[in-house]
Structure 1
Amino acid sequence: MTLKEKQLEFIIYCVENTAERLGRYSPEVFNKLKELGALDDYIKTFYDTLHTQGKAYIVDSLLEYIYHRDPQWLPKDYRPFQISTNEGGKSC
């Protein structure tokens, strides 16, 4: 598997898990991450580090990325800098 294929697989993982946390559809999350530049400027750029982290950390870091660029898109009760301790829960 090439690096490009691994990155694409990881992007899908990131989108799916972020969508699950937010209770939104994956295409909606994908489009927002693409619009904000997260796919290329964050996920691909920091792939080497991000893919070694746990699901909660990855999703929390993407929520932080979104928060600093379009906070109104996130749930009203979302608060930055709070790492989730419950991977299955919806801590947003």
Structure 2
Amino acid sequence: MEQLIELSQTEIKLAFVASCIEGTARALGKPYQEIFERMKHVGMIRNYIWPNYEMLHTESRENVTNNMIECLTTWEAGK
């Protein structure tokens, strides 16, 4: 029988953050490294994605990606 790997809540949230970055990068046609740096620069990962994981992860991938793009452009415009 195959043994399952148990992930911690932190590992699950990190995977979600990574998927937000990758989905946004794909939608914008940009490298994921660029999107990571942009999100990090405006504090979006620490101040939006991470603390709102419980709400965000229940949304569809399309809604999350659209939300990430809107949030990123809004936060960048405010900097």
Name stretches of at least 5 consecutive residues in structure 2 with no aligned partner.
1-6
Q: CA RMSD in A?
A: 1.0
Equivalent of 2:33 in 27, 45, 52? 27
Equivalent of 2:17 in 3, 8, 11? 11
Superposed CA offset, 1:14-50 (max 9, x none): 1111000000000100111111111111111100011
Say which structure is richer in helix: 2
Corresponding residue SS for 2:75: coil
Name stretches of at least 5 consecutive residues in structure 1 with no aligned partner.
72-92
TM-score in terms of structure 1 length? 0.73
TM-score in terms of structure 2 length? 0.84
Give the paired residue count. 71
Percent identity, please: 28
